[in-house]
Amino acid sequence: MSQINDIALVAQVVVFKNTRAFDTLVKKYQSSVRRFFLHQTLGNAELSDDLAQETFIK
C-alpha cells in the first residue's frame, strides 16, 4: 500500500507540481538516500548531501 501512495505522490509532483507531495517524499526517503551516498562516498558527508539533493531534484 505504501508503494501505491508513493506513486500517487510522484504523480502529484509531476503532473500538478505539488510541493507538499514533494516534501512528503523527501521527508520519507531523505535519510535513506543520504545514508546510501554516505556509504558510496566512504563517509564524505558534504558530498553525500549534495548527491542526495541532486537525486531529489532530478
Measured over all CA atoms, what is the biggest interatomic distance in the chain, rounded to whole angstroms?
37
* Predicted model pTM: 0.82
Q: For position 1, what pLDDT does the model report? A: 65
SS3 18: coil
Q: For position 8, what pLDDT does the model report? A: 95
How long is the chain? 58
Q: What is the pLDDT along the chain (58 residues), one digit of tens a residue?
A: 688 899 999 999 999 999 999 999 999 999 999 999 999 999 999 999 999 999 999 9
The residues, any chain, with a CB within 8 Å of residue 51's CB and separated by 6 or more, are 37, 40, 41
